Amino acid sequence: MHKIFEVPVADVYVHYVNKVERKDRTEAELVEVITWLTGFDSRTLKSHLKKKTTFRDFFKAAKINPNAKLITGSICGVKIVEIEDPLMKKIRYMDKLVDELAKGRPIEKILRSGIQTDSSTPSLQIENWLAIRGN
């Protein structure tokens, strides 16, 4: 078992926010990416962050986007396709999406938009997230 499985997502989320904002991306874009991957709406994501849900429970509750399998490449020197543990693969999917966002990749490409998906993140969810956060 990996230690990260028992770490609260909120503890890492703050680093995700800092990373993307340093690269002139927004928290709203980060929320869009995470909700696309997990199937959560913005309120559910906020609830998980507030409750300090562990990565294990966070991804247990998630409905992973079917197009997540299109996320390829390496993260931390490890090829995503070579990761065998299903939970670790989901965590690395999220890391990879955050990296792509921070590197300036267009949202449409990050969300693998050229391909039909079963899940989408309406802009209304992002507006709700910002309203909840008081921005």
Mean pLDDT calculated for residue range 108-115 = 82
Q: What is the pLDDT of residues 53-90, one digit of tens each?
A: 999 999 999 999 999 999 999 888 889 999 999 999 99
Number of domains in the chain: 1
Q: What is the pLDDT of residues 87-101, one digit of tens each?
A: 999 999 999 999 999
- The per-type count for the chain, helices as H runs and strands as E runs, is 7, 2
- Name the residue range of residue 129's domain: 3-133
**pTM attached to this predicted model:** 0.81
Residue 41 has pLDDT above 80, yes or no: yes
Residue 80 belongs to domain with CATH number:
1.10.8.290
Residue 130: predicted pLDDT: 57
Do the Cβ atoms of 54 and 63 come closer than 8 Å? Answer: no
Alpha-carbon distance of 97 to 27, in angstroms, equals 13
Torsion of CA 47, 49, 53, 54, to 10 degrees: 150
